[in-house]
């Protein structure tokens, strides 16, 4: 069977098919991966004690896998491992769309919602490789500048592998959509672009105060300032 990450589009199912605003939807694997790779924070849904809960988590993607981690007592990770499935959402806000009517105010965004199954990563070697992926998805090349992990840290860490079975994305990247008669009104309308930026790195107390900032951190700052 052909692996999903080699497919051009995710299969459309009852759970991932976009009904509202379908013209903004896509099932294209490459476009969805681009949305996933543009960030490192996702929202994971789960049921705990009969109540729905959504929690933000750091993640990394490799092919058709998403990796998340937490403590071995993390109730969300334990809950989704017990259910053997979950959904994950990633969203980037790109702009505020200010219309002539309150009803037509909107936002420009890129979002992807993933559905799939998951399993616990057992081997320390595999856990270490995945934690490296997560750290480096946050700041590229950061892992190599760190001290090696202690065994007690690995023992306290639960790593989960989520395999994307199907997914969909929605993208809005257009201007105001007002009622035809409203374009004659003396009301300002337009877009306020939104961008997440990095400010100049601030060293921690102690030795970092007297150290040069590593080049990979300066590179990240220059790229994202």
Residue 196 neighbours by CB under 8 Å, 6+ apart: 224
- How big is the chain, counted in residues? 225
Q: Which whole number is the average pLDDT over 9-21?
A: 91
Q: Residue 6 pLDDT > 90, yes or no?
A: no
The enclosing H or E element of 216 equals helix 215-224
Q: Encode pLDDT of 44-101 as tens digits.
A: 999 988 899 999 999 999 999 999 999 999 999 999 999 998 999 999 999 999 999 9
Q: How far is 193 from 130, CA to CA, in rounded Å?
A: 34
Q: Which residue has the higher pLDDT, 3 or 149?
A: 149
Residues 82 and 76: their CA atoms lie apart, in Å, by: 10
pTM of the predicted protein model: 0.90
Task: Give pLDDT, residue 2.
Answer: 45
The DSSP secondary-structure symbol of 9 reads: B
Structure tokens at 202: 């601030």
Average pLDDT, integer, range 98-111: 97
User: Token digits for 64?
Assistant: 């058709």
| pLDDT at 4 > cutoff 60 | no
pLDDT at 29: 96
Q: Over 70: is that where the pLDDT of 210 sits?
A: yes
* pLDDT (average), residues 148-166: 96
End-to-end CA distance of the chain: 44
Q: Is the pLDDT of residue 5 over 70?
A: no
In 72-213, at which residue ranges do the beta strands (DSSP E only) sit? 85-98, 106-120, 157-172, 190-193
As a whole number, mean pLDDT of residues 108-112 equals 97
Each residue's pLDDT tens digit, 112-146: 999 999 999 999 999 999 999 999 999 999 999 99
Q: What is the DSSP letter of 67?
A: E
In the chain, where are the structural domains located?
4-194, 196-225
Residue 3, pLDDT above cutoff 70: no
Q: Tens digits of per-residue pLDDT, 22-41? A: 889 999 999 999 999 999 99
| Tens digits of residue pLDDT in 179-208 | 999 999 999 999 999 999 999 999 999 999
pLDDT of residue 67: 98
Q: In the predicted model, is pLDDT for residue 1 greater than 50?
A: no
Please give the CATH topology (third level) of the domain spanning 4-194: Pnp Oxidase; Chain A (2.30.110)
């Amino acid at each position: 069977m052909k692996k999903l990450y080699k497919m051009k589009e995710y299969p459309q199912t009852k759970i991932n098919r976009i009904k509202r605003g379908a013209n903004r939807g896509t099932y294209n694997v490459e476009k969805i991966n681009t949305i996933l790779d543009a960030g490192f924070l996702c929202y994971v849904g789960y049921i705990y004690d009969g109540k729905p809960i959504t929690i933000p988590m750091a993640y990394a993607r490799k092919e058709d896998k998403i990796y998340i981690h937490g403590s071995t007592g993390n109730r969300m990770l334990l809950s989704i491992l017990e259910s053997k499935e979950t959904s994950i959402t990633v969203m980037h806000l790109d702009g505020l769309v200010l219309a002539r009517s309150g009803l037509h105010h909107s936002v420009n965004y890129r979002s992807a919602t993933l559905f799939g199954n998951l399993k616990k990563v057992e081997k320390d070697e595999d856990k270490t490789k995945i934690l490296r992926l997560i750290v480096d998805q946050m700041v590229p090349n950061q892992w190599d500048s760190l001290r090696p992990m202690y065994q007690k840290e690995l023992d306290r860490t639960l790593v989960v592998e989520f395999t994307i079975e199907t997914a969909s994305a929605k993208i809005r990247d257009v201007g105001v959509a007002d009622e035809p008669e409203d374009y004659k009104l003396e009301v300002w309308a337009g877009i306020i672009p939104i961008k997440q930026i990095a400010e100049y790195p601030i060293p921690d107390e102690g030795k970092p105060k007297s150290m040069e900032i590593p080049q990979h951190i300066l590179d990240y700052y220059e790229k994202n300032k």
